Amino acid sequence: MQSTGQTSTHAVSFVPMQGSQMMYATVLIMIAQTCDPALTALFTPLHPRVGHYEVCTTTEPVDKLIAADESSPVHYGPVEPLEPLEAFGTSGPYDRFALARLYRGRRVQVARGWRQFEDRFESITLLSPYPDASLTRLMPGTMMIRFTISRR
């Protein structure tokens, strides 16, 4: 159970898994993630028409996460250095000026990927370094924005 009162099932499932999915579950357990409702509220649409968003963070760099996911069903594109406003997009209600000031001309390392399961599709964006929820500090590690659409 998360501190928000919601349960998280992305690393644990009672549904039988194939080998590659089991490997992914093992990778998630090894790489500690903290999901943050405040970051989710800042950087994702308030009321998506379909699916749901989740923003999690880890102390691991983008390159290590991608390397750890090589045996999982995630398909990532190349890591790209982007301007902060391009990296974080325009769908969340965050303060664009505060974000630009925070990065001070520094670029964000961004990798985008996706994975497909029988019951859902997930789009994943990795961003590093990432801002804290108050937009006053850059945090080492990686922010993961995950958008999930269920097929049921």
Per-residue pLDDT of the chain (152 residues; tens, 9 = 90+): 444 444 444 443 334 444 444 444 434 444 678 899 999 999 999 888 889 999 999 999 998 888 765 556 778 899 999 999 999 999 899 999 999 999 999 999 999 999 888 888 999 999 999 999 999 999 999 999 999 999 87
Give the per-residue pLDDT at 75: 85
Ranges of each domain in the chain: 33-150
Confidence (pTM) = 0.76
Give the per-residue pLDDT at 31: 62
Is residue 55 within 8 Å of residue 85, measured between CB atoms? no
Give the per-residue pLDDT at 72: 62
Q: How many CB atoms lie within 10 A of CB 122?
A: 18
**What percent of the chain stands above pLDDT 70?**
76
Give the per-residue pLDDT at 69: 57
Q: What share of the chain is helix, strand, coil (3-state, %, to 5)?
A: 30, 30, 45
Give the per-residue pLDDT at 49: 87
**Tens digit of each residue's pLDDT (9 = 90 or more) over 19-43:** 444 444 434 444 678 899 999 999 9
Q: What are φ and ψ of residue 80, in 5° steps?
A: -120, 140
Give the per-residue pLDDT at 118: 86
